[in-house]
Amino acid sequence: MSWRLWVPLLLFSAFLGLAAYQLTQPKDEFVESRMIGKELPYFALPPAMEGSLGAANADFKDGKPRLLNIWASWCVPCIAEAPHLDALKRQGVEIVGIAIRDRPEDVARFLAQHGNPYSRIGRDDLSEVQLAIGSSGVPETFVIDGKGVIRYQHIGDVRAENVPMLLKKLREAGQ
């Protein structure tokens, strides 16, 4: 029996070992923005619904830190974070929203059902602003300092345990 007969079995065993190793490694499913520490790119979005104000990068350059929340009415985790965004608003935090690939009537319905923590809501029909700031999904929340620089990115829905941390990040962004 030649040793060459064992080569396919050894290769297959190596493949199984590599596959087993990869399957047991923790999965990193979040993509952090490369825009952290950089100024917001130019954008000027129309209002997401009638009666609201649109959103622009110029809104973030008045010296006051704010949150920029990327969300959508069709996003289930956005429902879960709505009361926590409202808690931030009640504590004096200004939140600018960008509604991703959404219809005005759906935005209005979502806000009527779950509350409206936003001072402004821009409509990003093609996710152009979302991609430009390095957001890879909804919901995501960014801390923007008073000069329009992205200081922090929170990936996923804002939960009760995240509220103190976001308040701290906003205070740091205001210094």
Rounded CA separation 107/92 (Å): 23
* Mean pLDDT within 25-53: 87
Residue 30 has a pLDDT of: 64
The residues facing 56 across adjacent strands are: 44
Residue 29 has pLDDT above 80, yes or no: no
Residue 27 has a pLDDT of: 66
Please name which of 29, 43, 22 lies closest in space to residue 122, comparing C-alpha atoms: 43
* Mean pLDDT within 34-46: 95
Residue 33 has a pLDDT of: 81
Burial category of 13 from C-beta neighbours within 10 Å (exposed 0-12, middle 13-18, buried 19 and up): exposed
Rounded CA separation 138/121 (Å): 15
Residue 25 has a pLDDT of: 76
* Mean pLDDT within 109-130: 97
Residue 161 has pLDDT above 80, yes or no: yes
Residue 8 has a pLDDT of: 87
129-148 pLDDT tens trace: 999 999 989 999 999 999 99
User: CATH assignment of 34-174?
Assistant: 3.40.30.10
Say if CB 87 and CB 163 are below 8 A apart.
yes
Query: Given pLDDT bands bounded at 50, 70 and 90, which one contains residue 157?
Result: very high
Please state, in angstroms and as integers, the Cα–Cα distance from residue 171 to each residue in 33, 149, 151, 174, following that order: 21, 14, 11, 5
